[in-house]
Amino acid sequence: MEHVKFRQMKDGTREEYLFLEQLEDEFNQGLVDRILQALRNLELGLSGYQVTRLEHSLQTAARAEADGADKDMIIGALLHDLGDELAPYNHSQLAASIIRPYVRAEVTWIVHHHGLFQKVYYAHHFGEDPNERDRYRDHPWYQSCVDFCERYDQAAFDPDYPTPSLEHFEPMLRSVFSRSPFDPAVIGEEHPLA
């Protein structure tokens, strides 16, 4: 079979869906390569900072690694701004969606909310509430997100910071994304993201 015959999903046969599942499984084997390419594309993105978006991502991950963070948090730090190119107003949520099947729920929650939490550093310059994050003050991962932003994200714009290459993080990225998606033993207890 080269293509399915159905034009509406409800008309598909078991044979067609098994065929599509096999193609999807083969395509998904290249997920990490596509993520690596998306990270490389950050090199060409938004300018004005002293580092590129890729350097910022690498430096955020390097800071997490130097702080002794676990593999999930380091990969969350590496990919936290991956949505910048396609979702500039909700990049945090896009990045969280990408990592959600593979990392513990706490890391997904942090990446999902980091854009809002980062506002504490600059929102006042635009007449916005820099403490908007406080609506989550009672959340069990509030402080983890505050720490992520303070120690890793907001500090990662330093052109003099010793930043490793993308290849340094590739084995860790491949390890995390080789996990079974949505494995309860990895994800643990999820909390609503909103």
**Residue 149 falls inside a structural domain:** yes
Cα torsion angle, 106, 107, 113, 118, sign: positive
As a whole number of angstroms, the distance between CA 149 and CA 153 comes to 5
**Looking at the domain assignment, is residue 5 inside a domain?**
no
Number of domains observed in the structure of the chain:
1
Look at residue 189 in the predicted model and tell me its pLDDT: 87
Looking at the domain assignment, is residue 136 inside a domain? yes
- CA dist 112 and 164 (Å) reads 25
Written as tens digits, the pLDDT of the chain (194 aa) is: 999 999 999 999 999 999 999 999 999 999 999 999 999 999 987 779 999 999 999 999 999 999 999 999 999 999 999 999 899 999 999 999 999 999 999 999 999 999 999 999 999 999 999 999 999 999 999 999 999 999 999 999 999 999 999 999 999 999 999 999 999 999 998 888 87
As given in the structure block, the two tokens for residue 51 are: 């580092």
Burial track 148-172 (b if 16+ CB lie within 10 A, e otherwise): bbebbbbebeeeeeebeebeebbeb
Distance in angstroms (rounded) separating the CA atoms of residues 171 and 19: 31
> Is the pTM above the cut of 0.85?
yes
Residue with the two structure tokens 């990408």: 98
* CATH number of domain containing 63: 1.10.3210.10
Find all residues with CB under 8 Å of 15, minimum gap 6, and list them. 1
What CA–CA distance (Å, rounded) separates 97 from 83?
A: 10
Answer yes or no: is 171 within a domain: yes
Q: Count Cβ atoms below 10 Å from residue 18 Cβ, excluding itself.
A: 11
**Looking at the domain assignment, is residue 187 inside a domain?**
no
Angstrom distance (rounded) from CA 153 to CA 61: 9
* Residue 97 structural domain: 12-181
Tell me, yes or no, whether 108 lies in a domain. yes
Alpha-carbon distances, residue 38 vs 26, 81, 129 (angstroms): 19, 11, 32
CB 154, CB 59: distance < 8 Å: no
In a domain, 2, yes or no: no
Q: Report whether 147 contacts 113 (CB < 8 A).
A: no
In a domain, 193, yes or no: no
CA distance 177 to 65: 18
